[in-house]
């Protein structure tokens, strides 16, 4: 089964992966872009996985389902989705690019030790856009925020329990 993951919107209503896929496919149709099996399966993979995969990961995971799939097709499909604003690109310091379905806006916390990228849905930073517009005179179209730190697994691994301990790992960004 593809559609088994449910998420919740701000009002607590269940947002089903199937609905997100339908909406995203409609966006393709609105732009007169053909819905090929490859495009549909790659999009579905991104909607149902929150692992912020690289091109290679997506290719490896889907190659068994789509024997004719090539790395170039995955790459070009992702580029198309990024251009449409359906998918975003992320960096985590490992020199690769990671991809994320962005049907529901959220923020990312990136582990500076292992590169893990975790979703954060809570903080509402739309006021940042209003403030930036006010201070710069720009017509603001959007924003992106990344928070850096040490994930719970790496905290255990490196025996770090408080922010002050980060100094010895030279992971703090303050002067």
Q: Where along the sequence are the contacts to Zn ion (CB under 5 A)?
A: 111, 113-114, 116, 151, 154
Exposed / middle / buried, residue 9 (Cβ in 10 Å: 0-12, 13-18, 19+): exposed
Residue with tokens 């997506």, as numbered in its chain: 58
| Cα radius of gyration (the chain) | 18
Binding mask 90-129 for Mn ion (x = CB under 5 A): ----------x------------------x----------
Given the complex with Mn ion, which of 5 and 63 has the nearer CB atom? 5
Task: Classify residue 54 by its DSSP letter.
Answer: B
Does position 47 interact with Mn ion (CB under 5 A)? The reply is no
Closest CA to 41 of 15, 68, 16: 68
How many residues are listed for the chain in this entry? 175
Question: What is the closest distance, in whole angstroms, from the C-beta atom of residue 165 to Zn ion in the complex?
Answer: 15
Q: Sort 82 into a burial class: Cβ within 10 Å, 0-12 / 13-18 / 19+.
A: middle
How many of the chain's residues bind Mn ion (CB under 5 A)? Answer: 2
Shortest approach of Mn ion to residue 92 CB, angstroms? 11
Q: Which does 110 bind (CB under 5 to 8 A by kind): Zn ion, Mn ion, none?
A: none
- Helix H segments across 49-113? 55-62, 71-84
* 146 binds Mn ion per the rule CB under 5 A: no
Under the criterion CB under 5 A, does residue 9 sit at the interface with Mn ion?
no
CB nearer Mn ion, residue 98 or residue 166: 98
Instruction: Summarize as ranges the residues that interact with Mn ion (CB under 5 A).
Output: 100, 119
């Amino acid at each position: 089964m593809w559609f088994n993951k449910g998420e919740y919107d701000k009002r607590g209503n269940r947002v089903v992966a199937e609905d997100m896929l339908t909406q995203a496919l409609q966006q393709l149709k609105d732009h007169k872009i053909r819905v090929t099996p490859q495009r549909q399966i790659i999009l579905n993979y991104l909607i149902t996985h929150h692992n912020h995969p690289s091109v290679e990961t997506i290719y490896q995971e889907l190659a068994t389902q789509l024997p004719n799939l090539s790395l170039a097709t995955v790459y070009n499909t992702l580029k198309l989705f990024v251009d449409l604003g359906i998918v975003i690109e992320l960096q985590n310091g490992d020199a690769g690019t990671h991809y994320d379905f962005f049907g529901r806006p959220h923020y990312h916390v990136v582990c500076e030790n292992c590169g893990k990228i975790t979703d954060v849905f809570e903080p509402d930073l739309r006021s940042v856009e209003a403030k930036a517009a006010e201070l710069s005179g720009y017509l603001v179209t959007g924003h992106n925020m990344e928070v850096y730190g040490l994930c719970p697994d790496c905290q255990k691994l490196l025996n770090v329990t408080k922010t002050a301990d980060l100094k010895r790992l030279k992971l703090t960004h303050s002067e």
